[in-house]
Amino acid sequence: MTDESDKFQTIHTRPAKSGHVSYSDSVRLHESSKSRVLLVPFFVPRSDHTELAIKIVTYIKTGGILVPVENKSISLGEESSRKLLQSLQTHLQVAETGEEGSYIVVRVSEGTAHLGTHDPSKVAQALTKVLSQPEIVEHLERTELNAALLNAFRGAIRLSEMRTAVVSLRENLDSGKCDEGIYQAWCEKHSWAFGNAYVVSDEVRNISISDKLDLLLPTVIAGYRDLVELKRPDMDVLFYDPAHRNYYFSADVSKAVGQ
């Protein structure tokens, strides 16, 4: 957990004795009764920018005095310092999960993700979990997304909804549920199962005073209604006639057609 005092820091720079670089206050990385490790930031002026370099210095306590040990100290230029920072940030995220496994790190600053040998489906699953986080969703709502990204999101959401619906239907069938109302509610909610030509089902299902259908499905192009009569999944649909070597509809199906 981040301490509130860590959010605000004052950094003072001062020229080194050489006069060629500046440095700021050292950061204590480690300290024990016998040693101390400090990080010293240096600012190196270039013709077009100022470069950050660091030196990690190890001190050993000798006779009550801290003495720097050169062979246990290391200097890093800006490129190496950036790699160290990136590596620490990346591996800290992995450590915070507390789980073993494979992790994919996507560098969003460059605009292009290189998947390498990673499975695209697993990358998509990981991104879906990230994009579902409330703070990310809030940011996306304020961001003007291009048409390609919007279409990709819509397609992914639609595909996910269809998969979830199919799983729900399969669970009802496998569990032996035979209540016609369960499947009627499913069909009303997922009329796309009858084909892309249909929009949402009609709320009105009466075709006469005494005749009420299970579903009326308006078509997108013509606007006509198709009639749908549902029967329980435990009823037979077809029977085989070995004498004529063909199939014929069961009595229950014939009754449904008659309705």
Which pLDDT tens digits describe the chain residue by residue (259 residues)? 445 555 677 888 989 888 889 999 999 999 998 999 999 999 999 888 899 999 999 999 988 899 999 898 999 999 999 899 888 888 888 888 777 877 766 665 555 555 666 677 777 777 777 766 677 667 766 666 656 666 666 677 777 788 888 999 999 889 988 888 888 888 878 877 777 656 555 566 566 666 666 666 666 566 677 777 777 888 888 899 999 999 998 888 887 777 6
Report the alpha-carbon distance of residue 241 to residue 246 in Å, rounded: 5
For 209, the token pair is 């005073």
Residue 111 lies in a domain: no
Read off the amino acid at residue 215. L
Strand partners, 249: 238
The pLDDT, as a whole number, for residue 29 is 92
22 lies in the same domain as 81: yes
Domain that holds residue 245: 179-258
Domain end (from 155, 175, 195): 175
158 lies in the same domain as 223: no
The pLDDT, as a whole number, for residue 258 is 73
The pLDDT, as a whole number, for residue 145 is 62
165 lies in the same domain as 235: no
Residue 97 lies in a domain: no
Domain end (from 175, 192, 211): 175
Domain end (from 148, 175, 202): 175
For 76, the token pair is 């890093």
**Residue 36: HSE in the Cβ half-sphere, 13 Å Cα cutoff:** 14
131 lies in the same domain as 66: no
- Kindly report the CATH number assigned to the domain that includes residue 62: 2.30.31
Number of domains in the chain: 3
For 136, the token pair is 């990310």
The pLDDT, as a whole number, for residue 100 is 81
Residue 195 lies in a domain: yes
Report the alpha-carbon distance of residue 80 to residue 74 in Å, rounded: 11
Residue 101 lies in a domain: no
Residue 207 lies in a domain: yes
188 lies in the same domain as 166: no
Residue 112 lies in a domain: no
Residue 96 lies in a domain: no
Residue 220 lies in a domain: yes
Q: Cα dihedral sign for 41, 42, 45, 48?
A: negative
162 lies in the same domain as 229: no
The pLDDT, as a whole number, for residue 143 is 66
Q: Cα dihedral sign for 101, 107, 108, 112?
A: negative
